[in-house]
Amino acid sequence: MPEIASRYKVAYHFSKIRNYLSGIDIFPVSLELDLTAACNRNCPLCPSTKSKSSYALDIRFVEKLLSILDGQTRGLLLTGGEPTMAPTFSRTLQLARQHGFLDIAVVTNGTLLGRQDVASALLAYASTIRISLYDWTAESNEEITPVFRLMEALRRQADRTGSQLQIGVSVLTSQDNEAGLSGIARRVGSAGAHWIYFNTLCIRWDIGAPTRVGQQGVLRAVENLKRSQKSGLQVFTFPERYVDDVIEFRGYHAAHFLLVIGADGLNYLGAEVKYHSQHAIADVARHCHPWFLWTDERLQRIRSVQSGAYPPLGSRHRGVLYSDLIEKLMRQGNGDTVPGLSLPGDGFAFPHIL
């Protein structure tokens, strides 16, 4: 079964890896884009706690950016904020298809899935949605039960219309909620989701130094759940986020493969430091030209980041792990052999979404 997340997913794009190791400029694999920083929820552990709700991207900027990446960047992840609140949401999905994006994912809290304009755009243009559950304990039933009902209705529409949309749910884990993972998986499956993704809960987003909380026993529980799953629900996780091996890199290499742009139009080093101004490496809204990816200033900012002095290292976020892997490949001087990944047997769901 294909995986949805792994530190090796970046190395699935061998030609870009080889070119990067050879010093050739590359376009990113994925664009992570916040259409708006506004949200109708106020989750205390949201990664975007430092954003201002007034931030929003103009559709003319979005279209220009997509046109620059046309044919080169194949993955788009719309997040926020709550992207379905943006007036530009439906048009952005349509433009992404017109500009050659193959995998289009939307991260949402799910509260607006009942709006027909939102549902129609998702069914027509999106590859998958990921409904994020920041709190899924028994006490949160009043908030998440309506979302599950909307998810059921969207699944029925997808089945009826023949849409290829995949519906997923993201669940944050810790050693304190490990015992409830099988229960939430059953509930997610019965609500019509195609997949569930277990991800590590992090704290300290507000100070730009996200760090995992204790995860003892969680990975073992998820692996047991994957083996015992009989309902058709696909169970995913990011195994390397749950372990404690050493991470080292000289230069945040992942910024060349995953382009992160906030609703303020700034390009941030990684998704784990969005809206922290010290990690903004380009003002794309002001300088949206075809060569903005390779300006000397941006490249120098990326090269200057060292793992030993990077505050979010403890988050083991995907960009951190991608940078570690690429550093290893640079040191061995070969992008053809990637430890842990073989071709053509290993595959990834939505391969262009890093």
Res 343 pLDDT > 50: no
The tens digit of pLDDT for each residue in 78-97 reads 998 999 999 999 999 999 99
Distance (Å, rounded) from C-alpha 329 to C-alpha 73?
Answer: 22
The CATH class given to the 7-332 domain equals alpha beta
Question: Angle, nearest 10°, between helix axes 59-69 and 89-98?
Answer: 20
Distance of CA 268 to the CA centre of its chain: 14
Tell me the H-state helices in the chain: 14-21, 59-69, 89-98, 116-125, 141-161, 181-190, 218-228, 296-303, 318-332
Q: Count the neighbouring beta carbons within 10 Å of the beta carbon of residue 165.
A: 22
Distance (Å, rounded) from C-alpha 64 to C-alpha 289?
Answer: 9
The tens digit of pLDDT for each residue in 230-240 reads 788 999 999 99
Q: Which of 27, 28, 30, 81 is nearest to 57 (CA)?
A: 81
345: burial class by Cβ within 10 Å (0-12, 13-18, 19+)?
A: exposed
Q: Count the neighbouring beta carbons within 10 Å of the beta carbon of residue 238.
A: 21
Structure letter (DSSP) for residue 316: -
pLDDT confidence of residue 126: 98
Question: What are the domain boundaries of the chain?
Answer: 7-332
* Tokens representing residue 130 in the block: 């990921």
Distance (Å, rounded) from C-alpha 146 to C-alpha 118?
Answer: 16
pLDDT confidence of residue 344: 40
Distance (Å, rounded) from C-alpha 305 to C-alpha 312?
Answer: 12
Q: Can you tell me which residue has the tokens 């892997």? A: 325
Res 52 pLDDT > 50: yes
Q: Can you tell me which residue has the tokens 């990975």? A: 219
Distance (Å, rounded) from C-alpha 198 to C-alpha 130?
Answer: 11
The tens digit of pLDDT for each residue in 240-297 reads 999 999 999 999 999 999 999 999 999 999 999 999 999 999 999 999 998 999 999 9
Q: Which amino acid is at 187?
A: R
Sheet architecture: strand order including 75-80: 234-237, 195-200, 166-173, 128-133, 103-108, 75-80, 30-36, 258-261, 266-268, 280-283
- CB contact at 8 A, 186 and 230: no
Distance (Å, rounded) from C-alpha 170 to C-alpha 297?
Answer: 36
Handedness of CA 189, 193, 195, 198 (dihedral sign): negative
| pLDDT tier, 209 (very low <50, low <70, confident <90, very high otherwise) | very high
Q: What is the pTM of this model?
A: 0.95
Distance (Å, rounded) from C-alpha 138 to C-alpha 179?
Answer: 13
Out of 71-85, 160-174, 189-203, 227-241, pick the least confident: 227-241
Q: Which of 124, 238, 104 is nearest to 170 (CA)?
A: 238
pLDDT confidence of residue 159: 97
pLDDT confidence of residue 102: 97
The tens digit of pLDDT for each residue in 7-32 reads 999 989 989 999 999 999 999 999 99
- CB contact at 8 A, 203 and 210: yes
Mean pLDDT of 92-104: 98
Q: Which of 38, 92, 40, 36 is nearest to 67 (CA)?
A: 92
